[in-house]
Amino acid sequence: MTLTVQDVVAWIKASNEKMQANKDYLTTLDQAIGDGDHGINMARGFQEVVNKIENQDYTSSSDVLKDTAMTLMSKVGGASGPLFGTAFLKLSTAVKGNDPVDYATFTNGLAEAVNGIKQRGKAAKGEKTLVDVWSPMVDFFNQEADFHTDKMAEEAKNAMEQTKDMMATKGRAAYFKERSIGHIDPGSASSFYIFDALADVIGGKA
């Protein structure tokens, strides 16, 4: 299976719908170990992305992802804008010239996205950040041969839930030290919604 330009647009729109629907939940997570604004920031940012891409006549997936990246960087506050923006920008660069986007190209793009997040956030796996969802998803994609929707969503959810037992050593949550244990990382939760949205699009639910 491949991803068409229309699929990529649908993915971003579905991601926005999940951010809007779970805005309060993301805010609650962030109130426990952060500034309490993650849900508001992500919902606003993705709404701005949809406003940007909705009426455009795209011919390449790379351009959709680039506009997504630039809008998130400029509209999402705190560290989330640059981090999620970097992820989509790296993905955009990796898939450039490949339409529709095949599985191997997309998988390589995810790996580049993770490298970008790690460099921008100076974060590694196991530090209770969005890396803890994006990195396991790269491993998952590398093990598979094609897009598997149910397994993809399940893998992302498991990765998100595993952040609950981690102690944060990066970002605002690091101030809480041991008290950060027992809380799901907000950035990991919003990352799960992005992969859950992708699974919905591939599975024909969005």
> What is the per-residue pLDDT for 171?
80
If one compares 179 and 103, the residue with the highest pLDDT of the two is 103
Domain that holds residue 187: 5-202
Sign of CA dihedral 24, 192, 198, 89: positive
pLDDT tens-digit series, residues 148-170 = 888 999 999 999 999 999 999 88
If one compares 195 and 169, the residue with the highest pLDDT of the two is 195
pLDDT tens-digit series, residues 53-112 = 998 999 999 999 999 999 999 999 888 999 999 999 999 999 999 999 999 999 999 999
pTM: 0.96
- Following DSSP, what letter does each residue of 162-191 receive, concatenated? HGGGSPP-SSGGGGGGGGGTTS--HHHHHH
3-state secondary structure of 124: coil
Mean pLDDT check: name the lowest of 65-69, 104-108, 114-118, 178-182.
178-182
Exposed / middle / buried, residue 178 (Cβ in 10 Å: 0-12, 13-18, 19+):
exposed
CA distance 27 to 24: 5
Look over the chain and give the mean of its residue pLDDT values, rounded to a whole number.
95
* Contact by Cβ (8 Å): 83, 130: yes
Mean pLDDT of 39-50: 97
If one compares 180 and 191, the residue with the highest pLDDT of the two is 191
- The structure tokens listed for 22 are 């779970």
CA distance 122 to 78: 15
Q: Is the pLDDT of residue 174 over 90?
A: no
**CATH number of domain containing 160:** 1.25.40.340
* Contact by Cβ (8 Å): 16, 46: yes
Assign 206 a pLDDT band (cuts: 50, 70, 90): low
> What is the per-residue pLDDT for 179?
84
Which residue in the block uniquely carries the two structure tokens 């609950």?
Answer: 164
Q: Is the pLDDT of residue 205 over 80?
A: no
Structural domains of the chain, count: 1
- The letter for the amino acid at 169 is T
